[in-house]
Amino acid sequence: MLKKDNFWLGIALGIIIPFVMYAIWQLFFDQFESAGVMSDEDMADNFSERTTALMAIAMNAIPLTLYNKMKFINTMRGVILPTAIYVIAWFIIYGRHLIG
């Protein structure tokens, strides 16, 4: 099923992967914080939330690379579209904290 050159498959993967990875990364940050391994006290506001969201978006590079190797251009286009939307949303939400 995943070895198809299909735009809608790319859209679905581009939407689902960051959501799943955000939940996993957030779980790791919460576990580390509750275990006392790391703390948000010394970090900037929303650091773990911003970082988690950015890492989740970056996980779309994995299917993008795999579909590039298989030369599935339409699936790659499908992955890129939600990724670009996520990046724009991330910058709108968190960019003003970084710029000032």
Give the predicted TM-score (pTM) of the model: 0.84
Q: What is the distance between the alpha carbons of residues 38 and 97, in angstroms, rounded to a whole number? A: 22
The answer to the question of residue 64 being in a domain is: yes
- 36 CB neighbour count, 10 Å cutoff: 7
Domain count of the chain?
A: 1
Q: Give the residue numbers spanning the domain of 64.
A: 7-32+43-99
The answer to the question of residue 12 being in a domain is: yes
Question: Rounded to a whole number, what is the largest CA-CA distance in the chain?
Answer: 46
The answer to the question of residue 23 being in a domain is: yes
* Residue located via tokens 């790791």: 28
The answer to the question of residue 71 being in a domain is: yes
The answer to the question of residue 93 being in a domain is: yes
Print pLDDT tens along the chain (100 aa).
Answer: 688 899 999 999 999 999 999 999 989 888 888 887 776 666 666 777 888 899 999 999 999 999 999 999 999 999 999 999 999 999 999 888 777 6
Using CB atoms within 10 Å of the CB of residue 28, give its burial: 0 to 12 exposed, 13 to 18 middle, 19+ buried: middle
Report how many helices (DSSP H) and strands (DSSP E) the chain contains, helices first.
4, 0
The answer to the question of residue 2 being in a domain is: no
